[in-house]
Amino acid sequence: MAAPIVKHAKGGKLAIANGEFDKDEKEFTQTILNHYFNYSVDIVVPKTKCLPPDIDELCRKQKAYVVHDLPAAAILDPDLIGAFISAGKFYGLSHGTRINYENCLAVLPTGHLILHVTSDTYIQLGLEGKPSWYNRLGQNKYVIDVDLKAAHFVPGRKGYERVLSALSRSGLKFNLLIAWDPSDGDICSSSLRKYFNMKGYQCSEVPIDHSRHRYEKVDIPVLSEIDESCIGSELFEWLGMVANNVYLSEKPDEFVSTYSYNGETEQASCLHYTISGFFTPPFISNLVNKLRCTVMKDQGNHWCSVTVYGFQDTPISWRSYEHGFTVCGDNLYTVVLLPSERYCLYRALGCHSEAP
């Protein structure tokens, strides 16, 4: 993969890279798999009327849930750790919490419990942690990282009992978004919902919202190969206009503020498809691969894009890097699939996030 171009603006950071799948596929895939918490996906495909049926089928199979008023201490239940966290990729994220001034929680697929807490809660818990990266911006938050899969983190051991006691005393509760990709393909991911219901918690499925727009006679960028028009931010801005349903065929005007793409364009139809919910990285990876194979090869489209939006108030952006939100909570990436098995990759973060 080519060295990324990183642009810093007052509103955030944008890193742009390009590559070829036969050389850089591993790094490309890791970018997707390390972005753990995703709530919306935008797909833009020029010159097509509808997405292939297998894309809709894939979306219907994605299952995620929300557990209401779950005590933080319940995450330490040996049954949950043994049957789910250690037996697949478990994703958990507190929902409806504000990262800049409230307690937040995340369970990473690596098995780490991340508590992003206020100074008062940090003192109350009495657990070992560190000042948040966010504190350099005038906040007062702390991060506690607990490895739930560590060999020594079991009932009866001092470390486990200390964390369990602290969380139980604190009374911390969250509405927790959860999803699970089991290691055993014969096990259904819906087992996760059954587990929490059996434990007496209210657990409901997260609905997937769909929206579809087809634009006619749109000035679409021509991207036959990786060139300056793709490597720069022009295409990223154009895709942002599509995402916001802005009319894309206006010509420059001396008196009226308009937007037009500066590179080469052609007039054609364009499909914009959006899904919203809670999506795991393997789901996103499968979606991108299906678009890469089906749309790019079978239907002969010259390019398409997938934009994945992370939650604005997640404590984590990529891997274990902290995410912040005061005036801008951007946390997203865009993949542009090009002919000849090439791609462009854009990663955008808010100005108060730790860059990976």
Q: Which residues of 267-292 are buried (b: 16+ CB within 10 A; e: fewer)?
A: ebebbbbbbbbbbbbebbbbbbebbb
- CA atoms of 129 and 233, how far apart (whole Å): 38
Taking residues 118-135, report their average pLDDT: 90
CB burial of residue 298 (10 Å; 0-12, 13-18, 19+): exposed
Each residue of 334-356: pLDDT tens digit?
999 887 788 889 887 755 555 45
Query: Of 251, 222, 312, 294, whose CA–CA distance to 50 is shortest?
Result: 294
pTM score of the predicted model: 0.87
269 pLDDT more than 60: yes
Assigned token pair, 78: 């040996």
10 pLDDT more than 80: no
1 pLDDT more than 80: no
Each residue of 292-320: pLDDT tens digit?
886 666 555 578 899 999 888 888 877 66
Each residue of 146-166: pLDDT tens digit?
999 999 999 999 999 999 999
45 pLDDT more than 70: yes
- CA atoms of 272 and 303, how far apart (whole Å): 13
Which residue has better confidence, 8 or 187? 187
